[in-house]
């Protein structure tokens, strides 16, 4: 198992992951578009025991978007780095990874509410709403 690292746009915040990423998914709903400032989320789950901040944890700001769930982002550059659930890291935004994690997004969800300007790639697994668990 190789160690993965990730960092924000300005480099103030860095983390490492020493275990596997799981359940990489992309959600195209209007909420995720705004939370990720993109056409969709790109997110994978991580075991909190495998995750640690290397530097810049004091530059993180937390936004709680729902009860118990939120995102942490760099207050200097605004990159969203991870999702947190009950104050533990829940998953990471794939865009902030430095290395190839050797995974692919396994499912695209809420494609039924995607932005009109987004063209979905061919051949990806799509669900109009939440996919199966």
Q: Does 4 bind Zn ion (CB under 5 A)?
A: no
Query: Which run of H or of E encompasses 70?
Result: strand 69-74
Q: How many residues sit close enough to Zn ion to count as binding (CB under 5 A)? A: 9
Q: How far is the CB of 96 from Zn ion (least distance, A)?
A: 9
Query: How many Cβ atoms from other residues are within 10 Å of residue 113's Cβ?
Result: 15
Q: How far is the CB of 88 from Zn ion (least distance, A)?
A: 21
Q: If you search the block for the tokens 């994690």, which residue do you land on?
A: 101
Q: Does 29 bind Zn ion (CB under 5 A)?
A: yes
Answer for which of 12, 38, 45, 103 binds Zn ion (CB under 5 A) is 12
Distances (CA, A) of 64 to 25, 26, 61, 84: 20, 20, 10, 9
Answer for which of 3, 5, 10, 118 binds Zn ion (CB under 5 A) is 10
Q: How far is the CB of 52 from Zn ion (least distance, A)?
A: 18
Q: Does 82 bind Zn ion (CB under 5 A)?
A: no
Q: Are 29 and 7 in contact (CB under 8 A)?
A: no
Answer for which of 4, 27, 96, 97 binds Zn ion (CB under 5 A) is 27
CA atoms within 13 A on the CB side of 6: 26
Give the integer Cα–Cα distance in Å for 106 and 37: 21
Query: How many Cβ atoms from other residues are within 10 Å of residue 76's Cβ?
Result: 15
- The contact pattern for Zn ion, residues 49-78, with x = CB under 5 A and - = no contact, is -------------------------x-xx-
Instruction: List contacts with Zn ion (CB under 5 A).
Output: 8, 10, 12, 27, 29, 32, 74, 76-77
């Amino acid at each position: 198992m190789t160690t993965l690292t990730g960092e924000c746009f300005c480099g103030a915040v860095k983390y490492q992951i020493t275990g596997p990423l799981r359940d990489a998914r992309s959600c195209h709903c209007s909420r995720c578009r705004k939370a990720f400032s993109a056409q969709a989320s790109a997110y994978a789950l991580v075991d909190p025991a495998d995750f640690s901040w290397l530097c810049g944890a004091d530059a993180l700001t937390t936004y709680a978007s729902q009860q118990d769930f939120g995102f942490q982002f760099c207050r200097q550059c605004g990159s969203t780095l991870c999702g947190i659930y009950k104050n533990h890291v829940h998953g990471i935004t794939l865009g902030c990874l430095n290395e190839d994690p050797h995974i692919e997004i396994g499912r695209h969800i809420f494609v039924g509410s995607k932005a009109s300007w987004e063209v979905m790639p061919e051949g990806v697994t799509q669900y109009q709403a939440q996919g199966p668990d």
